[in-house]
Amino acid sequence: MKKASIWILSCLLILGLAGSAAAEETKLVIATGGTAGTYYPFGGAMAKIWNSKVKDMNVTAQATGASAENVRLVNKGEAELAIVQSDTVDFAFNGKESFKEKLTEMNALAVLYPEILQLVARGDGPAKSFADLKGLKLGVGAPGSGTEANFRQLLDVYGMKKEDVNGQFLSFSESAEQFKDKHIDAFIVVAGIPNSAIMDISSSHSVRLLDIADDIAAKMTAKYPFLAPAKVPAGTYKGQDTEVKTLAVMAVLIASPKVKDDVAYNLVKALFENQADLAQTHAKGKELAAEKAVTGVSIPFHPGAVKYYKEKGLMK
């Protein structure tokens, strides 16, 4: 009887330990962006893939101030994953621009898709190019954001001073609201296309996307090599009947070095193996491709991601 009791207790203990182990989840936070941008819904779409396809995975998408805040969150250990602009992650890693010290506690997992620089002005307004925005109120992105850095790069190449434009430090959603209420004349969005904030405005207001001329684009890409020529196809937004020439940076998925190698490997593997599902959840998923995921970013890749890309013959 005593032996039987001990055997039963041993079985219960083993079952309890097994149940406890099975219940253990890997909990991660992915820092994204404002709710009116592309990062937040795309981060949510990736989290959905990971949570359904990777065993015991629990990833939560968190709305943030986007790129600059995201690299700080990862480096401070307040988020394990983040989406960032390729230029911002370069600035942070090397201690440039608004980053006074180097932030190196981060690794790349994948390049996700190009982010298009979109200059939005009133359709019935005078602005036909960035130079025409002199003296006007312009939403330039959140303070310290990648969008604000792109604004300063435009000022530089166009030979303009910061004082030439009445810059307003606003998120995409704030810019959209201020634009609707005619408190600003134009704003900058650096995001995947189509962008929800611009779509919302163009449905009820006349807007114009401003071209960046070829000679300006050439100067921009020569001075800032993380930028590349890009186009917004005609019909992307209501009333946009012609193609618009502009520039782009890359959206990059980064991770804390503290994320275990097998976890990083499984995240990357699930992302590419379920690309079709991701594309159904969010349009930017159509642009995700493993062949493009290892170029366009200047920081080291996570060892777990490297293992996956080597298996696919994409890294040596």
For 193-214, what is each residue's pLDDT tens digit? 888 889 999 988 999 999 999 9
Instruction: Taking each helix axis as running N to C, give the angle between helix 86-94 and helix 67-75, from 0 to 180 degrees, rounded to the nearest 10.
Output: 50
> Where, residue-wise, is CATH 3.40.190.10 in the chain?
26-113+251-311, 115-250
- CATH assignment, 26-113+251-311: 3.40.190.10
pLDDT at 44 exceeding the cut of 70: yes
Nearest to 147 by CA among 173, 125, 126, 127: 173
> For 59-98, b where at least 16 C-beta lie within 10 A, e where not — what string?
bebbbbbbbbbbbbbbbeebbbbbbbbbbbbbbbbeeebe
Residue type, 261: D
pLDDT at 19 exceeding the cut of 70: no
pLDDT for the residue 6: 54
Over residues 71-92, the pLDDT tens digits come to 999 999 999 999 998 999 999 9
- CATH assignment, 115-250: 3.40.190.10
Q: Which residue is associated with the tokens 């996307």?
A: 209
What is the pTM assigned to this prediction? Answer: 0.75
How does DSSP assign 17-60, residue by residue?
Answer: HHHHHHH--EEEEEE---TTSSHHHHHHHHHHHHHHHSTTEEEE
- Selection from 36-45, 93-102, 266-275, 295-304 with the highest mean pLDDT: 266-275
Task: Classify 4 as helix, strand or coil.
Answer: helix
Check the CA dihedral 281-282-285-287 and report its sign.
positive
